[in-house]
Structure 1
Amino acid sequence: MIKTLLLTFIFISSLFANKVIYLSYDEIPNRVIKGEIFPVTYKALSTVKNFDDILYEFSNHNGLKILDEAPQRVQRGKYYYDTFHMEVTQNNARLPDVEAFLMAPRDYNSTSLQGKKLNVITLNPNKNFSNIIANNFNLQEYKTTVYDATHNIVIFVASAQNCDIEQMHFNDVYKQGIESVSGNYDEAKITYFIIIDKKIENFSFSYFNLLKNDYTQATIPIIVNDDSVSTQSDLRPRDQSHDTIKMYIAAAIAFAGFILILIRRKYLYLVFIILPLIYIINLAIPQKRICIKEGTAIYLLPVENSTIFETTQTQYHLTKEGEVQNFIKVKLTNNKIGWVKNEDTCAY
């Protein structure tokens, strides 16, 4: 009996003698929101003085994404506080099992820490929720232009902190999408477009502010403006739907001016003839048409990596509405406006 106890003691002592790194949780959240990005901090202590780094290997996690390849480290005395950021993706989530290794000139044993189940809360937002959960969200600039006869297109730039900004999504819009994203979860910037009904005067939406633990409202006033707020240009085509009526009105004014000259013999009334005639000539000038190659991408905006909303299935001859740098604005057969690259045009 005594011999057995002695052997057991020696075995346990040898296990602890070989353990060179101790690992524990320092900080984990009491509850997390589905879609939230949160930190998990591990507290590590090494009994070996000479080592280069502490490496981590994760396994057996579910319902979350690990966003950092390497931890954010703070050293306090002999302890290392290593923080990883993770994002909750499902209603049920579990922290990963962790194995920590010492990176040192000689091989040492590793140590492990079992993952814990997270208390996940799912939001129940209103219909105008943008699917954004962040510490902060800021609209930086925006612009509204005409998309077609019944819709406007709103393009805006926004930034967010501690946020998976690519999850942005709106309900009850005609079309939407990401034009560009930069940065990371810590500080991200997005250019986004939405196509909405022309009747909407203000586009309001909400996001969940983690610092306030509440929803925060944001509003974009819908003002159709030809002035550029960034590198974009006017997306609105020349409206020819009432050109014939306008020409008749201008002709009537010119004829009235001619009658006044005959009756009153004052050449001052020539202005009522000359200006309407110039206006009629301007309306009568046909808009330039260009040839578009088969397989040409039609872009939503005149910028690289913009959304492609249509690809030509054959060669087209389309009305040219304008041009910006390497892009030409065209009016499609369905009266929508798009942009093509100069290189995608062909000779008439």
Structure 2
Amino acid sequence: MLKLLLFIFFISSLIAQQEVSVFGNQSTPEPKRQITAGEIGKIAPTDEPDYLRDNKEIYQQVELNELKLQTSKTPRSVYVYQTFSINLKADTEQNLNFDLNLTANLDGITWLNPKPNWNEIKKGIYETTLWFEANNTNASIDKLTLTLNRNGAFFQDASIKPKLPLIKNLKFDPNFSFVVADALDVKKIKSSKFDDLSNLITIELETKNGNLNSFAIPKEFKKQGIESIKGDYLSQNGNYFIIADTDVKEIEFSYFNLKSSKFESFKLPVKVEIDDLSTQVNLNPKESEFELYKDISIYALIAIFLLFFIFKRSYYSLVLAIAFGGYTFYDSKPFSDGMLEINSEVRILPTPNSTIFYVSKASQKVKIMSKNDTYTKIILSDKKIGWVKNENIK
């Protein structure tokens, strides 16, 4: 029995030596091992975004592809002042939408449509037509630069130096109006008094394959310019105005005809339709002739009614004669009075883009000659004639 108790005590002692007491002193832990840079590199990256970063760094960046520019359909040769076009194609190689901004470095050449319309012929491929006019034989385009913007920010750009046509010079012509075209026609010419010393001459022009913006008559006039141009460079029409001295009796100019390869000239007579401002009721000659016949008819009726009153003692005829006489007196007053408001713009022609030759500094009295839906024709105190918007006349 004693031997059994000793055996159990021995076994219990061995087990107690292997257990660690939760109440006793714990053994000292081993020091932490540092992870090397090589081991860190082997750790697989997480696919979760780092929310401490800027939002712009979270989204995937679009890889830039090469922006390719190409020109085509350039004519072999042109004359100075002849309009010509070049096709420009841009391949962005991106399936994205862009704002396209084109700039040019030019020398001796005018870019006629600096804000061209782009057509997307395929996804990411754009095309446009550029119109130019060379001012001399040494004209050049150093480069065209296309800038792509996306969401208001710069994305990419590229440049190209286009090949220009051979630019040929023209022989000298003292009346050359700086227009080179397939055709230039004068549709109508109208002359009227502008003031006591000047006439306003308006020439309605039409051109084929030309540029009326370049039209200018090489003579010294008080003022001249082109207005109200409509159409494109294949077909245009517009009004050319001249303010000339009253002693100018003829307008002469020429243009270069591309079909015949020679200059063609115009000599236009200046015939002021109505010379006396006091009787300038209407500047349309057909309507002026009508006014004459109307006046003759009214005077004849007045004479007939007076004869009826004298010989027939018809007071009804007297009343009619007085009524027609009153109308004739009222109608003989050529212009009505009006008040031009302050800061009113007086134009040469009744068109929105017409040249403004006078701006009123204060309210002033004017004579009203005629009126249409938008503009009123007036005579200023210095006898100049112009057009103002209807709302500027009281």
Normalization by structure 1: what TM-score? 0.58
- Aligned residue pairs, count: 268
- CA 1:153/1:67 → structure 2, altered by over 3 Å: closer, same or farther? closer
Q: How big is each residue's C-alpha offset from its partner over 1:191-231, in whole Å with a ceiling of 9 and x where there is no partner?
A: 221122333333221011122222111232323336xxxxx
Q: Report the Cα distance in structure 1 between the residues aligned to 2:232 and 2:337, rounded to whole angstroms.
A: 43
Q: Secondary structure at the match of 1:343?
A: helix
Q: Which residue of structure 2 lines up, in the alignment, with residue 237 of structure 1?
A: 277
- Are 1:143 and 1:155, in contact at CA under 8 Å, matched by a contact in 2? yes
Gaps of 5+ in 2: 1-67, 90-99, 120-127, 147-157, 281-310, 312-320
Q: C-alpha displacement at 1:316, in angstroms?
A: 0.6
Deviation at 1:312, TM superposition (A): 0.5
Distance in 2 (CA, whole Å) between partners of 1:36 and 1:90 is 11
In the alignment, which residue of structure 2 is the partner of 1:64?
109
What letter corresponds to residue 36 of structure 1 in structure 2?
A: Q
C-alpha distance in structure 2 between counterparts of 1:236 and 1:24, whole Å: 59
Q: How has the CA–CA distance of structure 1 residues 27 and 202 changed in structure 2, closer, same or farther, with 3 Å as cutoff?
A: same
CA contact (8 A) 1:151 1:197 kept: yes
CA 1:116–1:198: 2 relative to 1, 3 Å = same
The AA in structure 2 aligned to 1:164 is N
- Correspondence for 1:152: 199
Q: Any residues of structure 2 matched to 1:1-348 within 5 Å, and which?
A: 28-30=75-77, 32-39=78-85, 62-65=107-110, 69=116, 85-94=131-140, 115-116=162-163, 119-123=166-170, 125-170=172-217, 171-225=219-273, 237-238=277-278, 288-346=336-394
TM-score by length of 2: 0.52
1:327: how far off?
3.2
CA offsets per residue over residues 105-158 of structure 1, 9 Å max, x none?
Answer: xxxxxx998644664444454332222121211112222222222322121221
Q: Distance in 2 between matches of 1:222 and 1:116?
A: 46
Separation of aligned partners in 1, 2:240 and 2:364: 29
Q: Could you list the runs of 5+ residues in structure 1 that have no partner in the other structure?
A: 1-20, 44-54, 73-81, 101-110, 227-234, 241-266, 268-273
Hey, what's the Cα distance between the residues in 2 that align with 1:341 and 1:23? Answer: 48
Change (3 A) 1:200 1:60: closer
For 1:63, the aligned partner's letter is G
Q: 1:35 and 1:148 mapped to 2: Cα distance?
A: 35
Looking at structure 2, the residues matched to 66 and 41 of structure 1 have their Cα atoms a distance apart, in angstroms, of: 13
Is contact 1:237-1:337 (8 Å) kept?
Answer: no
The one-character-per-residue Cα deviations of 1:291-331 (angstroms, maximum 9, x if unpaired) are 21111111223344433210111111223334334433322
User: C-alpha distance in 1, partners of 2:131/2:72?
Assistant: 14
Higher relative contact order (CA 8 A, sep 6+): 1
Q: Encode CA deviations 1:47-69: one digit per residue, 9 max, x unaligned.
A: xxxxxxxx9x8966543345574
Change over 3 Å in CA distance of 1:302–1:64 after alignment to 2:
closer
SS in 1 for 2:277: coil
Q: Cα distance 1:293–1:186, how it changes in 2: closer, same or farther (>3 A)?
A: same
1:229-267 Cα deviation digits (max 9, x unpaired): xxxxxx973269xxxxxxxxxxxxxxxxxxxxxxxxxx9
Q: Let me know the Cα RMSD of the aligned residues.
A: 4.8
Quickly say closer, same or farther: Cα 1:155–1:90, change in 2 above 3 A: same
Q: Structure 2 CA distance, aligned partners of 1:98 and 1:306?
A: 33
Q: Is the 8 A contact 1:28 1:41 kept in 2?
A: no
- Confirm or deny: 8 A CA contact 2:104 2:141 kept in the other structure: no
Q: Distance in 1 between matches of 2:385 and 2:192?
A: 11
The 1-side partners of 2:73 and 2:241 are apart by 42
Does the Cα contact within 8 Å between 1:71 and 1:84 map onto a contact in 2? no
- Give the counterpart letter for 1:320 in structure 2: I
Q: Which amino acid aligns with 1:89?
A: N
| % identity of equivalent residues | 25
SS of alignment partner, residue 213 of structure 2? helix
